[in-house]
Amino acid sequence: MTEIVYPVWHQRLAKSLHVNNSQVQSKYYQVASVSSNGDPKNRTMVFRGFLSGTQSLLSVTDSRSEKIEQWQGDNKSRFEICWYFAGSREQFRLAGEVALISHSIDSNYGNWVLGEHTKHNLLKQQWSNLSTNAKQPFYSNSPKAPFDEDAIQSFPQDGLVNQGNDINDEFDSRSNNNSAPRNIAGHYTDISDNFCVVVFIPHAVDYLNLKSKPQQRCLYDIQDDWKERTVNP
């Protein structure tokens, strides 16, 4: 088996994740896209690991959310992630292309995007990592639809059924539709059609370390075989 040699930026990022592991906010990054009229759009997302065997980063979202439209279509699938680790005072800016993996989105990505995964096993793996609370909004009314208080019904409480690895239960409070298929313990059993795995495929990385003396800034580009270029901050 050939050993994967990770680019220096990837090694730095893995180290930052390890060093800042105790801070829950180190799993959140800001992700930018561009709207159809050219306006910049930006939001916080949860980092859900690297796609195994690749440099790509994973997040999940609702396929009905506005960011999805911004990332669909020719020349639109661009992103920039800005990720600050407060403990080690490091910033990573990663730019590249987005791949959207969902039962409700037509896509035909090859192995170079999905690595050793198939579409279904990636969706299944990421869905099973979510707690019941985090799964629930995917079965609810559409994001940004007018709030409907009557649609709120009781749904399983954290202590009883929240057994996923999800770290982001504050991001799951939209109204509830209890018709989604669940097993006896209250778990949502089917992967919602609205569930979408976002694969961020980096093409360029800009690393800044404010802690080192002097401050350090390094640039990496896939076109340049991810060679490290040290530049002035």
Contacts with ligand FMN by CB under 6 A lie at: 28, 41, 43-46, 59-61, 65-67, 143, 168, 171
Residue whose token pair is 């105790």: 22
The secondary structure of 163-187 as a DSSP string is: -S--S-GGG--S---TTS-B-TTS-
Q: Which is nearer to ligand FMN, 41 or 227 (CB)?
A: 41
Q: Which is nearer to ligand FMN, 58 or 209 (CB)?
A: 58
The secondary structure of 131-152 as a DSSP string is: -HHHHGGGGSSPTTSPP-GGG-
Q: Which is nearer to ligand FMN, 4 or 24 (CB)?
A: 24
Instruction: Give least dist CB 232 to ligand FMN, A.
Output: 33
Instruction: Give least dist CB 224 to ligand FMN, A.
Output: 31
Q: Locate the DSSP E strands across the chain.
A: 28-34, 40-46, 57-62, 78-85, 90-102, 195-209, 216-221, 229-231
Instruction: Give least dist CB 103 to ligand FMN, A.
Output: 17
Residue whose token pair is 């600050």: 84
Q: Which is nearer to ligand FMN, 17 or 218 (CB)?
A: 17
Question: Torsions phi, psi of 108, nearest 5?
Answer: -135, 60
Q: Which is nearer to ligand FMN, 20 or 209 (CB)?
A: 20
Instruction: Give least dist CB 214 to ligand FMN, A.
Output: 33
Tokens at residue 115, please?
Answer: 């690595």
Instruction: Give least dist CB 30 to ligand FMN, A.
Output: 8
SS3 151: helix
Distance separating alpha carbons of residues 168 and 159, to the nearest angstrom: 15
